[in-house]
Structure 1
Amino acid sequence: MAMYWLMQGCQAGDSLVFHYSGHGSQQRNYTGDEVDGFDETLCPLDFETQGMIVDDEINATIVRPLPAGARLHAIVDACHSGTVLDLPYLCRMDRNGNYVWEDHRPRSGVWKGTNGGEAISFSGCDDDQTSADTSALSKITSTGAMTYAFIQAIERGHGTTYGNMLNAMRSTIRNTDNGVGGGIVTSLISMLLTGGSLGGLRQEPQLTANQAFDVYKKPFFL
């Protein structure tokens, strides 16, 4: 996997960014280390011949080796991407901005944290949701709605804290309904892989981390 390259030579003081905008899906988990019973996956261009990239692999490759003093930000714009890095904590936030950190550490005791570093992920939607495309960014071609919302949050000055970022991204997506297009196409691959059915657009960006923190006090910076 190309992800191995990201971690080569990683040391204290490094700030890493992993961005993926594409197809995502789920598959049944049989080890008992998933709260919802499913592993989240990424579907790269060659997934039909090489297979999907499972969240366990992503965690083992770019999360667990992260050394003390290093920082990783993941920006994953894909269907079913809420916990795609398998990080131990998910920030469950309501529409009023109130939040609690959910503990997603596996009951099996398998370690999903880092080797002392800090790992934080913004994802396009919750694990049971799909991510849409939008033409509102370029006005010419469709891009991921979450990627668009992430850029808008920074450009409009909402990137002061992680909580402000998450609220701004969700607000942008809720207010971009008229510009959304291609969501059905984006979701189709997930439907085919999981045997699910297509429904209306439900998309709320998520925040996960290797440890809980005050999202309204911790400054956001890459």
Structure 2
Amino acid sequence: MVIKIVCLRCRQKLTVPAYAEKITCGKCGEVNPIIKKPSPATSLEQGKISKPMEKLKKLLLGNTQRLSDSSGSSSSPPSKLCALDESGNQPPAKKRAVLCGVSYKKWKYKLKGTINDVMNMKTLLTQTYGFLERNILVLTALMTKKQYLIQPTEEESDTRLIPTKANIETCLKWLVNGCQKGDSLVFYYSGHGLRQPDFNQDERDGFDETICPVDFLREGMIVDNDIYATIVKPLSEGVTLHAIVDACHSGTILDLEHVYERDKRMWVDNSPPSGVRKKTSGGIAYSISACEDNQIAADTSALNSKTINGAMTYILIDVVRGNLNITYGDLLDQIETRIEDANQQGWFGGSRILSKLFGPNLTQKPLLSASEEFPVYERKFKL
């Protein structure tokens, strides 16, 4: 019996015996661990981690400083997944990205544009901003309804790169692990976003924002507090993080302390009412979200007759490609203006939550937040 995997580095398809625990890619030399698909009776139904998954975690997690999450628990950040050079040392990755897209196939609230969004964002990073493919982790998969199990599809056949809660958390730790002055990091997410009551007095509106991994019905959502603790708090001096999140209720998904109000042309305080400070460790974090915390985001074909895309993602990429010297303020203005124009013309017939729940006119205003205030019409947007 044999199994098929895809090389983590060069994406070459490999065939290996079922009993093997690792394989060296004949094309690029990458050593790939073999992760067997867990049986529903053990790993999924009982919530246990299979032995192959434990081996993968040991491979990815190094003896580096531990990161604390919002609840006070901790977990070790993974070592870089990029390839080793001939000397066995990990090459520096000045630019690194994690891109996630979830479609929720066969569900009532399925999304049709998320995979397109991820591929377009990857193209922007590699062709416009010089990111190397080996330093970009792409997590994409569809979700089937049957028993809430994860079924690899044509989008992703490697179980390590399916956007489960555990995989996303592991890759986010990889994103910031070992970051150094001058590094540029990007986290992109296209999928469902939800809200849940906040009981820690961290939120001014009383709700935590969340993203929904492919297995969120079984494993739960990823909360903004945990995203902050994983990829914002560890940012050291000279490191820049951009989060671009195309999801409903995604406005303050990074829990950054400063939110820019475009209508008032001013920054407003978003620090927790509890008094807890949510700062970086010296770096700077930016977040561009598809909508405000109480709004929904559109998935539409109106902006491109050939494909369905997230409205914010499609417009952001189109605007940036047309003006590489654009400022954050001008970028925000153009995204909102084009979304407003499309909305007034009735283009957003489909949405990420049924229109009947929220009304036919889908108000969607992109939101910019940051770990520090800055002149939005002077600073250029650059990944």
| Same fold at TM > 0.5 | yes
Q: Secondary structure at the match of 1:163?
A: helix
Name the CA distance, whole Å, in 1 between partners of 2:273 and 2:362.
32
**Is contact 1:142-1:181 (8 Å) kept?**
no
Q: Which has the higher contact order (CA 8 A, sep 6+)?
A: 1
Match of 2:90 in 1: none
CA RMSD of the aligned region, Å?
1.7
Q: Secondary structure at the match of 1:56?
A: helix
Unaligned 5+ segments in structure 1 are none
CA deviations 1:49-94 (Å, max 9, x no partner) are 1100000000000000001000000100000001000000000111
Count of aligned positions: 211
264, 283, 300: which one aligns with 1:134? 300
Unaligned 5+ segments in structure 2 are 1-168
Name the CA distance, whole Å, in 2 between partners of 1:125 and 1:134.
15
Name the CA distance, whole Å, in 1 between partners of 2:177 and 2:306.
37
342, 365, 375: which one aligns with 1:214? 375
CA deviations 1:157-176 (Å, max 9, x no partner) are 27521000100111111122
**Is contact 1:149-1:172 (8 Å) kept?**
yes
Q: CA deviation at 1:197?
A: 3.4
Map residues 55-74 of structure 1 onto 2, 5 A cutoff: 55-74=224-243
Name the CA distance, whole Å, in 1 between partners of 2:371 and 2:283.
9
Map residues 47-58 of structure 1 onto 2, 5 A cutoff: 47-58=216-227
Map residues 73-222 of structure 1 onto 2, 5 A cutoff: 73-94=242-263, 98-157=264-323, 160-177=326-343, 178-183=346-351, 186-188=352-354, 197-199=357-359, 200-222=361-383
**Is contact 2:249-2:296 (8 Å) kept?**
yes
Name the CA distance, whole Å, in 1 between partners of 2:187 and 2:296.
20
Name the CA distance, whole Å, in 2 between partners of 1:116 and 1:109.
20
Residues 90, 105 of structure 1: alpha-carbon distance in 2 compared, 3 angstrom cutoff: same
Match of 2:205 in 1: 36
TM-score normalised by length of structure 2: 0.53
2:193 corresponds to 1:27: no
**Is contact 1:63-1:119 (8 Å) kept?**
yes
